[in-house]
Amino acid sequence: MWEKSEDGVFRTSCPVCGNRLIGDAEKGELVCPTCGYVTFAPADEGPEWKAMDLEEKNKRVRVGSPTTLALHDLGLTTEISATMRDSHGKYLDPAMRASVEKMKKWQSRIRTISSEERGLSNVLSRISELCESLNLPHNVAETAAQIYRTSARMKVAKSKSILGMTAATVYLACRKCGVSRTLKEVARGAGLEKGSVARYFRLVLKDVEKTYVPPPSVEKYISKLVNMAKIDPRVEHLALMLSRKTNDSKISSGKAPAGLAAAYVYLSSVMLGEHLPQREVAEFAEVTEVTVRNRCREILDNYVIRQEVSGSD
């Protein structure tokens, strides 16, 4: 799945739109140039040190798998071996053996002993499941896990619906990571009503994440829309340009970004002779045709769009 070219750049395809992801192996970040999907390069890919020379290369060996916030114990455990030998391979004497047996028993009891821990591991696995079914990158799952941890620590999650909390944390994680998934999509993935997820989301936003996290920009929505609907990239280019030239509070304030994005895509498709039906654009943006029309009207009322005929564009 992962290819690494000589220049140290990872390449793979975007799970959202299928386009090539490009990124920097050292930063460990992969970005989709079209829809803005961000993920991380696999952390297990070799030693984490960059060897300066051969000697150093031999010295630096990485041990263990990477820690992850998505497991309740961060993926860090120590097993007491069942072989009953010491570190030199010799068998243990009976007294030692008995005490090791005791320790093993206690270790297994302690591992997920408290109800909080058990609840945490339950929710974290649900978060992972939800992220998986929504095709979200790992960093979103990690962020969601992080959010849930702090909310659990602050007792915000106390006596709340587990499903509602997972959906809310995943949605917040999407926004923090700049991955454009709507509340609707996350709610649908969790099999919940949009309204109830919104309630939990506000709760988490108020009590856990104190600073306001802006929703994805109109441009993100445009890219997503274009990729989902498999529209000509030229349309995307023009739509992005239009949105940048006309990003005015007059037409954008208070409006659903998805509707605005749909309008830009629709206008661009008309201008380029593609002429996608409003119906289709609206459907992919999950808004109504009426909304698309209203946004279009507002854009056209406030701006004069003239087509410039030039060789490059």
What residues make contact with DNA under the rule CB under 7 A?
194-195, 198, 253-256, 259, 275, 277-279, 286-288, 290-291, 293-294, 296-297
Q: Which is nearer to DNA, 4 or 188 (CB)?
A: 188
DSSP structure string for 108-158 = HHHHT-SHHHHHHHHHHHHHHHHHHHTT--HHHHHHHHHHHHHHHHTTTTT
Q: Which is nearer to DNA, 152 or 296 (CB)?
A: 296
Shortest Å distance, C-beta 118 to DNA: 33
Shortest Å distance, C-beta 298 to DNA: 9
Q: Which is nearer to DNA, 38 or 208 (CB)?
A: 208
Shortest Å distance, C-beta 286 to DNA: 6
Shortest Å distance, C-beta 292 to DNA: 8
Q: Give yes or no for a contact between 120 and 149, defined as CB atoms under 8 angstroms apart.
A: yes
Of 262, 264, 211, 210, which is closest to residue 237 (Cα–Cα)?
A: 264
Nearest 5°: CA angle at 50, between 27 and 56? Answer: 165
3-state helix, strand, coil split of the chain in percent (to 5) is 50, 5, 40
Shortest Å distance, C-beta 198 to DNA: 6
Characterize the bridge pairing of strands 20-24 and 29-31. Answer: antiparallel
Of 127, 133, 132, 162, which is closest to residue 145 (Cα–Cα)?
A: 127
Q: Which is nearer to DNA, 228 or 290 (CB)?
A: 290
Q: Which is nearer to DNA, 4 or 194 (CB)?
A: 194
